Amino acid sequence: MAATTPTLADVIFPEQANHNFSRILGDLKRSNLSITNRLKSIQHDASFVESVADALQLPLVANERCGSWYIDPTRKTASAYFKSTDGHTGQWKFSTRRINLHLLGVIGEHDGCIIVDSTRRGKRHPDALSKTVPTWCAVLNRVLFPDHPTSHTLHVPPNAVSDSEASQISARIPDFVESFLSLKIDLAPLRSQLKKPLRPFWITQDDDLALDLTGADFHPVVCCTSSRRVTGTELGEGGYIQGAGDDTENWALGLTAQIWWRHRDELLSTPEGELPELIERLVAQEGTTAGDGAGHQVRRVAPGIFVGTLQAVTIQVNMPGTCLVSLLPKTTDQDSWVKSTSHIEVGLGKSKAASRQLRDALPRICEFVSHFLSETKPEEEGTAAEKRVVILCESGKDLSVGVALALYCWCFDTEGKPRTATDERESFTKTAIRVKLGHIMNTVPDANPSRATLQSVNSYLMNWRK
């Protein structure tokens, strides 16, 4: 019997087949973006970063949040906080919140540094490296080397930033310089750390590592994009994921860069199906041991004000002359906050919700600390000037820093001396608050108060009379 000619209905996939095909493609994409593939991609990119450091003989600096995933902790010299959003087209900014001045010491000592970051699929460089860092270099050159005009030019990677955009950024640099100078930071110590101006360079996995910097009349700031550029989909990359260390909240299950490097071999050798259980165990294990050593330390951020993690509470709570403010990662009733005349436990919750709750908690916190500083009991020899305030939160870098800023403004005058009960408080301005924040960030460069935290502080201080 002769074969029948197929009809159009026979050729076109039926609706159920189309549905199955879409599901199969989705499953393939999800499997390609597995935790295993992410960790293998991070391992691959970390090897490239190490080869850059070996070739250039310069110290490695992780641009957080994700830079630390690509740097062996034994080779990591420092962290930096250059945000890509400060380099987004039309939104260029020189951040007075993350001024990264601690890098000047590293750069001056080693005649340069390598700043490591990654970026998402399809991009050659993250905006943090192609625009934010170059802007930072140009601003600092103008401030610290005013008599060296050739160093004032903005340098950007020509294959990533157009001439038009570079010109628009350059036009804003004088305003950025004024913003920096408004912080009133002592420039002499900063200038003494550098022998010559800064100059950014860029390296990717597509570039030759033979960068000859011998005898240069500048300190090189090498911007290293760790991830290999992927122009299509990950399905054709053999499991490689560009920017695999980004967006950890969506895939890492609580795994951090620190845990990754401590348990890298075990994580890479574990089958995908067993990884969630392993990661859960490692995260819990690290949580019980994280208090060892540095977790119990507090750091001075301003005269009389210290910040740290909640793990330090056991040794701070009974220290004479210390007012302890504990910011708990759970919400608690205000009536339960005051534990003694020198200890207040404020339950704010976690993340952005906690930052928003801070706005309503600050009046109570500032009143409590002000009372502690102004009151001297007959049996106490110490005066207010000898007392100290310790603020603790989960990270020691966000909420505690925000409260430290509020107290620095509210409880201390412009000279850093505690206010008395009779002192009249000024009307706080954004500029005055920003100056004190600049001092804190210069003292503790890895502090990282969120925008929501700082908005709560500004809102309270600027509207306290209402």
> Within this chain, do residues 46 and 186 fall inside the same structural domain, yes or no?
yes
Last residue of a domain, one of 269, 289, 309: 289
Tell whether 313 and 430 lie within a shared domain: yes
Which range marks the domain in which residue 448 is found?
A: 296-462
- R_g of the chain, CA atoms, integer Å: 26
- In a domain, residue 187? The reply is yes
Higher-confidence residue: 27 or 217? Answer: 217
70 and 106 co-located in one domain: yes
**Exposed / middle / buried, residue 87 (Cβ in 10 Å: 0-12, 13-18, 19+):** buried
Cα separation of 324 and 407, whole Å? 13
- 424-455 pLDDT, tens digit per residue, is 666 788 888 888 898 898 888 888 888 899 99
Q: What is the DSSP letter of 333?
A: -
Which stretches does DSSP call E strand in 39-109? 60-63, 76-80
Q: Which residue reads 């890492």 in tokens?
A: 252
CA distance 3 to 10: 14
Residue 26 lies in a domain: no
The answer to whether position 156 is within a domain reads yes
- Name the burial class of residue 450, with classes exposed (0-12), middle (13-18) and buried (19+) by CB atoms within 10 angstroms of its CB: middle
Question: 172 to each of 88, 91, 217, 372, how far by Cα in Å?
Answer: 14, 11, 26, 45
Helix H or strand E encompassing 309? strand 305-309
Number of domain units in the chain: 3
Statement to judge: residues 268 and 201 lie in one domain: no
What mean pLDDT comes out for the span 131-157? 95
Q: To which residue do tokens 């540094």 refer?
A: 113
DSSP 399-427: HHHHHHHHHHHHTB-TTSPBPPTTPPPPP
pLDDT for 166 beyond 60:
yes
Dihedral, 205, 209, 211, 212 alpha carbons, nearest 10: 180
What pLDDT shows up at residue 213? 74
| 22 inside domain | no
Q: Are residues 244 and 257 in the same domain?
A: no
| Ramachandran assignment for 56, one of left (phi > 0), alpha (psi -120 to 50 degrees), beta (any other) | alpha
For residues 279 and 334, membership in a common domain is answered with no
401-412 tens-digit pLDDT = 999 999 999 888
Q: Same domain for 319 and 331?
A: yes
The Cα–Cα gap between 212 and 57 comes to 11
pLDDT in tens, 78-87: 999 999 989 8
Does residue 240 lie in a domain region?
yes
- Asked if residue 190 is part of any domain, the answer here is yes
The answer to whether 99 and 438 are in contact (CB under 8 A) is yes
In this structure, are residues 83 and 25 in contact, taking their beta carbons and an 8 Å threshold? Answer: no
Q: Are 217 and 259 members of one domain?
A: no
All residues at 6 or more sequence positions from 64 whose CB lies less than 8 Å from its CB, including other chains: 79, 80, 81, 448
Band of pLDDT at residue 337, cut at 50, 70 and 90: very high
Residue 61 has pLDDT above 90, yes or no: yes
* Separation of alpha carbons 121 and 222, rounded Å: 22
